[in-house]
Structure 1
């Protein structure tokens, strides 16, 4: 049975990476999610995709130039589907507190060695505090982040995000002892999928928004699909 993950919550239905987006995902009956993390200036884990604030909030500057108390004041509903009320940038702690997901894919973008180390240690501390360490997989395309996960937080499950095939994603995943491969759907051939699963990887395919593609990837045997439209995915795959 192919599982469904809500992409940044329910990105196609509500402003991405906001509390309402994750609540919408849960309302649709999807109890797994994918989200993106950046550290604030004062070291808190903040949920937003870009390293800068412009696209989703209209504010200037980088996430790392603002303290968490400032960031949670910013309205992050720009650039997505229209929404009547302000939607604040959430702390990861708020989502752990309010959203009972069965599993979380927490993506960490590229980072310096120091920032990668601080980020993965912060994730481990928070996941332990909320008792969700066994419900979390930290994913990244960054070698620096994967290295930090391997060396500093071996109790955290980790996954490789693979967008391009110019380096063999299966070899890279193996070299960092990953349990999950988040694979761009254009790379998801039946052959690669079977090979990855034989290697013990859970293959999570992104971003899958078309019903015909959902059905095709499910027929291939993808372990999970990451979608902007969790309600559509449930309607498409729910009776299989």
Structure 2
């Protein structure tokens, strides 16, 4: 297990970077990354896979919410995606390599791998391989995580030297309508922590009283949380979590 570097517990982490649509900084954009670096915050970003196997920094599976285009991101090449402007900004969808160049090791970078299987299953590995290749030689503090335990296990196999953890939550049915109930029930208890060699969790702030979170925290496991949107939410979250992922205010 590669331990989470202490710096990930020292600086609040900007969710999808320090985005602000009114200021021309869309989520997961270069502009939002530059703003987070300037403010000294850590940065959380999301990864999806292009049709030609590039790790792209983008949250959604579909393009429509965040761009003027329609359809699945994974049906477009990295070059095509780079030409698609993000809404409320003037830059295209970035690759992980481009974001790494922007950050350049100056602040901690927390990278979430979006589930590529569709049901938290074993059909993963390509995105993980692409990201590990992009991270080769990167010297800054970085940590990797995913809701899908198979993704975290794939990262353990490909890059055992990189810190990795599980993104976790209470798996409420209304939040995960397409995930089978049996899978939701299983993942709610965070049963794969030891098997995947995870070194931390990032848990939904609304579920921090989960007994398994309490158990892991008592065992010395670093607990991050998501997504905090006000000072009051931050104060409540920090009673359990050692750091927060935030948006919409100055943490």
Question: For this structure pair, what is the TM-score category when the shorter chain's length is used for normalisation?
Answer: 0.7 to 0.9
Long gaps (5+) in structure 1: 78-82, 234-240
Q: Is 1:95–2:99 an aligned residue pair?
A: yes
Q: 1:188 maps to which residue?
A: 208
> Shift of the alpha carbon at 1:115?
6.3
Provide, for residues 94-147 of structure 1, a one-character-per-residue CA deviation record: whole Å limited to 9, x for no partner. Answer: 111122443211111112478621222222222123334xx2221111133123
Partner of 2:18: 10
- From the superposition, tell whether residues 19 and 114 of structure 1 become closer, same or farther in structure 2 (CA, over 3 Å): same
Find the aligned partners of 1:191 and 1:163 in 2 and give their Cα distance: 12
| Matching residue of 2:71 | 61
Structure 2 residues without counterparts, runs of 5 or longer: 1-8, 172-184
Partner residue, 2:158: 152
TM-score (norm 1): 0.83
Name 1:209's counterpart in structure 2: 229
What RMSD, in angstroms, separates the aligned Cα atoms of the two structures? Answer: 2.3
What is the aligned partner in structure 2 of residue 86 from structure 1? 90
Distance 1:154 1:171, change over 3 A: same
More helix per residue: 1
How far does the alpha carbon of each residue in 1:38-93 deviate from its partner, in whole angstroms, 9 at most, with x for none? Answer: 1211111110001111110121221211111110111112xxxxx4x513211111
Q: Is 2:170 aligned against 1:164?
A: yes
Query: What secondary structure, in the 3-state scheme, does the structure 2 residue paired with 1:6 have?
Result: strand
| Alignment partners' CA distance in 1, 2:159 and 2:83 | 31
Runs (4+) of structure 1 exceeding 6 A deviation are none
Once the 2 structures are TM-superposed, how far is the Cα of residue 12 of structure 1 from its aligned partner? Answer: 4.3
SS of 1:148's equivalent? Answer: helix
Give the direction of change, closer, same or farther, for the CA distance of 1:196–1:12 in structure 2 (3 Å limit): farther
Number of the residue aligned with 1:48: 58
TM-score computed with the length of structure 2 as normaliser? 0.79
Give distance in 2, aligned partners of 1:203 and 1:193. 8
